[in-house]
Amino acid sequence: MRADQRFIHSINFKSCFNTYPLSVDILRLDLLHPVVSGNKFYKLKNDFTIAIESKAEGIGTFGGAFSNHIVACAFACKEAGIPCTGIIRGEEPSTYNPTLLDAKNYGMHLHFVSRIDYKDKEKLKKSFNKLYWIPEGGYGRPGASGISELFEQVPSLKEYTHIICAVGTGTTMAGLLNGSLENQEIIGISAMKNNLSLEKNIRDLLSPNKKKILPNVLHDFHFGGYAKYTGELIDFMNYIWDQFAIPLDFVYTAKAFFAMVSLMEENFFPADSHLLFLHSGGLQGNRSLPANTLQF
């Protein structure tokens, strides 16, 4: 996939926030695909190629009940005609949420395990024969390598001084670091609370020429922890939609966007900076919010 200017949206914060006039572009990968959106497409593409070439009898993966990765993987398997198994963290609910319903309807075989059993993923894998396993969230070198390719959607990559992204497993940030140009700073915003192993996880996926990089992950914008939110975050999401017609998800991109604006207001970035914000999709997660919480 080659650069497509339709995915780059420029916005002006000056009239909405107390910020100095920086140049900010949004890489709208949420527009890439209605289901396998954002970073999911790039994280999965190489694993799927390996699974097909190895003639695996199916694909297995892991995730929580609201996982963007689970839905994306289920849909991609359906399109590729590959049997798919999802190991879901937690007991099976009496009523499936939209994420689980979608995964099931796309043909994923769902297996629910206790949170304790979920921790021993190697033992769980042994219960299924001849599956190609994709780690939770698409973590791994194939995923990071695919993420590096998303820069093909950025026509003028060299113009950007800073690239901001949300961080879950660290795969996306590692891929961005591997694919970034010299003197570009990648800033990751952790969606989890006290996930201090992120930096190591990211460094484990860096290419040899990037091994000396110390990942810059900010841990103070989690809003209570993974999939947690506050009224302030919801109000912020609605405000961004009202001002710029950009939908964000409360698990990842809203927290990263909030962090970016906060850093701008604190004059964190030099005045001549040109920022690129990665919209990594994941909007399906908003369906878990109460009705009418969001304006979009």
The radius of gyration of the chain from alpha carbons, rounded to an integer in Å, stands at 19
**Percent of the chain, pLDDT > 70?**
98
Output the 3-class SS for the chain: CCCCHHHEEEECCCCCCCCCCCEEEEEEHHHCCCCCCCHHHHHHHHHHHHHHHCCCCEEEEEECCCCHHHHHHHHHHHHHCCCEEEEEECCCCCCCCHHHHHHHHCCEEEEEECHHHHCCHHHHHCCCCCEEEECHHHCCHHHHHHHHHHHHHCCCHHHCCEEEEEECCCHHHHHHHHHCCCCCEEEEEECCCCCCCHHHHHHCCCCHHHCCCCCEEECCCCCCCCCCCCHHHHHHHHHHHHHHCCCCCCCCHHHHHHHHHHHHHCCCCCCCCEEEEEECCCHHHHHHCCCCCCCC
pLDDT for the residue 15:
73
pLDDT for the residue 5:
61
Residue 96 has pLDDT above 80, yes or no: yes
Specify the residue for token string 């950007």: 160
Mean of pLDDT values over 8-31 = 86
Does the domain spanning 5-34+141-288 belong to CATH 3.40.50.1100?
A: yes
Sign of CA dihedral 290, 293, 295, 296: negative
Q: Tens digit of pLDDT for each residue in 138-176?
A: 999 999 999 999 998 898 999 999 999 999 999 999 999
Q: What is the mean pLDDT of the chain?
A: 94
Mean of pLDDT values over 222-251 = 96
pLDDT for the residue 3:
44
Q: Tens digit of pLDDT for each residue in 106-145?
A: 999 999 999 999 999 999 999 887 899 999 999 999 999 9
CATH class of 39-138: alpha beta
φ/ψ (deg, to 5) at 264: -65, -45
pLDDT for the residue 6:
76
pLDDT for the residue 13:
82
Specify the residue for token string 């399906």: 284
Q: Tens digit of pLDDT for each residue in 180-212?
A: 999 999 999 999 999 989 999 999 999 999 999
pLDDT for the residue 4:
55
Q: Give the pLDDT band (50/70/90) at residue 1.
A: very low
Could you tell me whether strands 23-28 and 8-11 are parallel, antiparallel, or unpaired per DSSP bridges?
antiparallel
Mean of pLDDT values over 46-64 = 96
Q: Tens digit of pLDDT for each residue in 21-47?
A: 788 999 999 999 999 989 999 999 999
**279/258 Cα distance (integer angstroms):** 13
Domain residue spans of the chain: 5-34+141-288, 39-138
Mean of pLDDT values over 79-106 = 97
Could you tell me whether strands 58-63 and 84-89 are parallel, antiparallel, or unpaired per DSSP bridges?
parallel
Residue 2 has pLDDT above 90, yes or no: no
